[in-house]
Structure 1
């Protein structure tokens, strides 16, 4: 072996040695970043997630950082580029994330009232012009984030199945968060809108929305509940530990954060129903 070959071999060995710790850290990091869906105020979510943080630190023996991104798209990008390891996605935002980062793995789904699914609620202002679904035509209709399942995809598909196509039969308005939709409808700022029924009930129970100010127009078809996901490149033993910690979670205070009574196993196939909804709306998921 000549001098040039020796130097090349030494350089290659050095590069491998330098890269190994980074690879190890990525698959089994000292700190796990756990992202929660930004469907409400970030500071409130982080504060309410402290019991979850403490539980996971004990269960996994790692530091836990709770992350709340600015919106659904930034959460998808954070997962795509490895800036978070575990994420509690909305069903449709998970489907979108999966198209951009195929290695993402859903492993648990929230169960509420014995079911791993929920619905969107379509609301109208109680004193406004929308008395039933057909009255949406020719008027604004408020959705949350574009990547939201229960505040965009499912109710928009429900409207489409009832002959109401966005931007053809009504004006599409995006307000970002579920609570913003409920407040805007209750205040009469928009005549109608849609959000997660679970979040709506929580807002009513918390005194943040006066139910007398709105009327229920419809409920969407059942939607598979929010999936808990993780990066596929994590070490197998770490993935098993994360899955076990979530599936065995039974602390009512922590479960309240997710608006569920427990978690059940989940797979990617469970979310094919959302891909079908996207087809109804002629949405190209890969380009969203």
Structure 2
């Protein structure tokens, strides 16, 4: 066990940051615990929808901590990541890709993850189209790349809306979306689903959580879309706090999440959880290791992009690919020691 921990720690030191993150200015350290906790929410839907889902949980968190908890919303995922980086956000709900960016660039640390009501800890990325579009029923129907289709992809920091389809749908099929489709536009999950339902885009990236929520909150729109591709299981969303909060503050925050729906007003908490996304279950213990599969995906995608790049000298390309292969091998060891 000790050897496993030492191996993991040694390898993780060189892997927890992407090259882009290493080039960034380091995060701004906190002088002390904040007087009020600012809770960041990534923009998967409209702010009004997200407020109705998350503000009740924040009110309960405020009562449990005895400290003001303020919501922070941004028009894109990067806004929450950057706000955490500069100490303006202290706790946040992320997807795995944006969580990875927060850990690498913003002094973040994963402490719990979400689950579903049945206890499962994962969800799926989807490619969707309008149910009346009989010409599109599989990936083959959209990857002929005749530039006749309008495609809606997710926020660049979205796991299910961007990273997963970028790798599994496009990179593995040697397709550049910008060269394949008539237009490619970035939007959140809710916007992409509604755009597909209303024939404003022909195809879009989405996920099982948004489709499930739309079936509950916007059933007429949900009935107008069909799924033509489903990804492998994606780990449930991480909750991330600033790692330089005091141990006492981190312990209180973590205790709140792990106790929520388990202790105290169980029925009230579970009702709140049921209203978030497509219905959340209890929060589960987690840490930064849940990001390893996402790091592997990001590295694979970088490798494929490098291999296709004709503008890099062969020797330089070989060196960069070798460096990625080394990181992937190290990650494989980390995953095997989880």
**TM-score strictly above 0.5:** yes
**2:139 aligned to which of 133, 144, 149:** 133
Cα distance in 2 for residues equivalent to 1:50 and 1:95: 24
Cα distance in 2 for residues equivalent to 1:198 and 1:281: 24
Cα distance in 2 for residues equivalent to 1:145 and 1:174: 9
Change (3 A) 1:47 1:186: closer
User: 1:155, 1:194 within 8 Å by CA — same for their partners in 2?
Assistant: yes
Change (3 A) 1:95 1:213: same
Number of aligned pairs?
Answer: 260
1:255 maps to 2:278: no
Change (3 A) 1:209 1:122: farther
The CA RMSD over aligned residues, in Å, is: 2.1
Alpha-carbon shift at residue 181 of structure 1 (Å): 0.6
SS at match of 1:108: strand
**1:277 aligned to which of 290, 297, 300:** 297
Alpha-carbon shift at residue 87 of structure 1 (Å): 0.6
Alpha-carbon shift at residue 119 of structure 1 (Å): 0.7
Return the index of the structure with the highest Cα Rg: 1
Cα distance in 2 for residues equivalent to 1:49 and 1:172: 33
> Could you say which residue in structure 1 is the equivalent of 2:112?
108
User: 1:120, 1:195 within 8 Å by CA — same for their partners in 2?
Assistant: yes
> Could you say which residue in structure 2 is the equivalent of 1:19?
none
> Could you say which residue in structure 1 is the equivalent of 2:78?
73
Cα distance in 2 for residues equivalent to 1:110 and 1:241: 18
Alpha-carbon shift at residue 44 of structure 1 (Å): 2.8
Deviations 1:167-193 (A, max 9, x none): 344456233210111111112222111
Change (3 A) 1:243 1:88: same
Unmatched segments (≥5 aa) in structure 1:
1-22
Residue correspondence of structure 1 range 21-32 to structure 2 within 5 A: 26-32=31-37
SS at match of 1:173: strand
SS at match of 2:102: helix
Alpha-carbon shift at residue 38 of structure 1 (Å): 1.4
> Could you say which residue in structure 1 is the equivalent of 2:17?
none
User: 1:185, 1:193 within 8 Å by CA — same for their partners in 2?
Assistant: yes
Q: Which runs of 4+ in 1 moved over 6 A?
A: none
Moved more, 169-178 or 114-123: 169-178
Alpha-carbon shift at residue 208 of structure 1 (Å): 4.9
> Could you say which residue in structure 2 is the equivalent of 1:17?
none
Change (3 A) 1:171 1:97: farther
Residue correspondence of structure 1 range 2-41 to structure 2 within 5 A: 26-41=31-46
Deviations 1:49-70 (A, max 9, x none): 3321221112111011111122
> Could you say which residue in structure 2 is the equivalent of 1:219?
230
Moved more, 250-259 or 147-156: 250-259
Unmatched segments (≥5 aa) in structure 2:
1-28, 262-268, 307-338
> Could you say which residue in structure 1 is the equivalent of 2:316?
none
Deviations 1:48-101 (A, max 9, x none): 333212211121110111111221011110011100111111110111222213
SS at match of 2:45: coil
